[in-house]
Amino acid sequence: MMSLLQRVGTGHRRPPNPVARTLTTGLALVSVAVVAIGVFAGCRPNPSPAPRNALVVVQTPQASRGGPIPTTVLDLRYPDGSRLLYVPAITNPDRSILLSRGLVAAGAPVLSPDGQSVAFVGKASASNPWQIYLTSLAGGEPRPLTSFPQGAMDPAWIGSTRVLFTTPIPRLTSGVATSGSDVPALHSLALTGGPPVRLTFGLAPAGDGTVLPDGRILFVSTVPSSASTATPAGGQSLFTINNDGTEISAYGLQHDGPAAIRRPRHLSDGRVVFLAAGPGTTVLDGRIEQILSSRPFRSRSVVFPQMTESFRSAECDQEGCLLVTLRSTTSETYAVYRLGPGATTSGTPWLDDPGWNEVEAIPADTPPRTAGRLSTIDPDKNTGVLLCLDARLTDRHPLPAHDPAPSTLRITAHLPGSAPQILGETPLAADGSFLVEVPADIPLGFDLLDPAKQVVRRCPPSVWTRPGENRACIGCHEPHSTAPDNLRPLAVKKGPVRFQSSIVRLTQRPTNP
């Protein structure tokens, strides 16, 4: 094949043209110059570049106005009086347009894919729960998209026709966010109407969803510490699912120390930035950290290590700079700053209304387009299929040499607030593989047993399948930096072992009234 390609490539080659070569060289030099100008005319390390873009801004009152005691995390982030503004000209903020008209509080704006509308969280009255609203940048009355009794939060866009959000909203207990038996989960809702679709089914709360360029949903959650409790084993970390809830996967931070994280955002250069603070906090303020999407498990670092300020939010603009909100050491209020790579100081605020705190800001440019994904769910089924290539492959706690090798797989099903139910056991194939059919939309735990039926390895209930999903994994917490052997697992030579459960699958929440 190579010799044929070489003959085809050289058999019709014309002699070089000196003029064409000169033109080509000239064009190449012009291209290099244009690229260089584009690079160096972009966001420099100067922490206060020239303003250019319009903004959507969240402002909160400087001091409490005697409102009710916060009962949810959103009450804490956006006290009564918080408002949402569209600032079409950063040089003339007096021309701002109020987007949260008629609401007592608002926050968490996300721009629609066409750049014309904003989805955000808002509260109609001090006693009403937070809901997701939609409004035009031109102003007007916001339209509620949800009406859940326990509220909704963390909006994001899935394409141009669906909105992602979390419900219910975690409540505050002694200033710490908690959830009861009704665990916060990701949902999506079509703008044209219809019931919400639940996307996550773990025992731990899921929130802060955002959509990656490839169409997957990136969100924040935790891994339970054991197979019988939703207590996190460590800090919060990042996970991904497809836009139909299939293929739950760890994305990053699973092996790091305890921490609370919030607002992950994917940047155009492949980084994912997020706010990080101490474990067990509501993460109002924090440091901005980052991981690389090319190696998310081994690249965590602080974005501005020389800055001592605490940040409230961070977003990427079209030139690769970070739009951040923070309170500097010389100011009593939060303001918007535009920071380039390597910034060591906050510099001059880009937007600062001395009568308000600017706690969130997003560019009002058309967002980058994200890829779509076809759903693989079969609504007529109530099970999914799991294939594991080698359950004995792990990067956690290697087995001592004298321990007996695991030979049996036990699968357990879990629901929040309920005792785990053993679905059954099946022998591992000689190569450690297994192929099972399991109930859909239920958190599943996996135990590897030795010949004496003692638990050798335990995977907490952080995995689920959607109806009709066919899912494969390499191992049990397998190393993230290696690919599996190109071998056909022995388990596929037989049909999947079917596991049944008397637990009713987690159903969708009711349609918005």
- CATH of residue 135's domain is 2.120.10.30
442 & 475 share domain: yes
Residue 117 lies in a domain: yes
Residue 8 lies in a domain: no
349 & 451 share domain: no
344 & 430 share domain: no
Residue 254 lies in a domain: yes
Q: What is the structure's pLDDT at 3? A: 33
435/426 Cα distance (integer angstroms): 9
Q: What is the structure's pLDDT at 507? A: 52
342 & 434 share domain: no
Helix, strand, coil shares of the chain, percent, nearest 5, are: 10, 35, 55
For residues 351 and 334, is the Cβ–Cβ distance under 8 A?
Answer: no
Those residues with Cβ within 8 angstroms of residue 266's Cβ, 6 or more apart along the chain or in another chain:
210, 212, 213, 218, 272, 293
Structure tokens at 507: 């159903």
Of 363, 393, 422, which residue sits at a domain end? 363
163/189 Cα distance (integer angstroms): 5
248 & 343 share domain: yes
54/51 Cα distance (integer angstroms): 9
Q: What is the structure's pLDDT at 474? A: 82
229 & 186 share domain: yes
Q: How many CA atoms lie within 13 A of 21 on its CB side?
A: 5
123 & 255 share domain: yes
395 & 355 share domain: no
353/455 Cα distance (integer angstroms): 60
User: How many independent structural domains does the chain possess?
Assistant: 2
189 & 285 share domain: yes
48/316 Cα distance (integer angstroms): 15
Query: Is the pTM above the cut of 0.95?
Result: no
Q: Is 332 exposed, middle or buried (0-12, 13-18, 19+ CB in 10 A)?
A: exposed
Residue 17 lies in a domain: no
133 & 253 share domain: yes
Strand partners of residue 181: none
Residue 36 lies in a domain: no
Q: What is the structure's pLDDT at 6? A: 31
Of 363, 397, 412, which residue sits at a domain end? 363
231 & 274 share domain: yes
Of 328, 363, 398, which residue sits at a domain end? 363
302 & 442 share domain: no
pLDDT, averaged in runs of 10, over the chain (513 residues)? 32 40 39 35 40 84 74 92 92 86 97 95 95 94 95 96 95 57 90 93 93 96 62 75 94 83 92 86 82 90 92 88 90 91 91 93 88 89 93 63 76 82 93 94 91 86 93 73 80 90 56 53
CATH code assigned at 455: 2.60.40
Cα 490 from chain centroid (whole Å):
35
Those residues with Cβ within 8 angstroms of residue 365's Cβ, 6 or more apart along the chain or in another chain:
53, 54, 111, 115, 317, 318
Q: Which domain holds residue 348?
A: 55-363
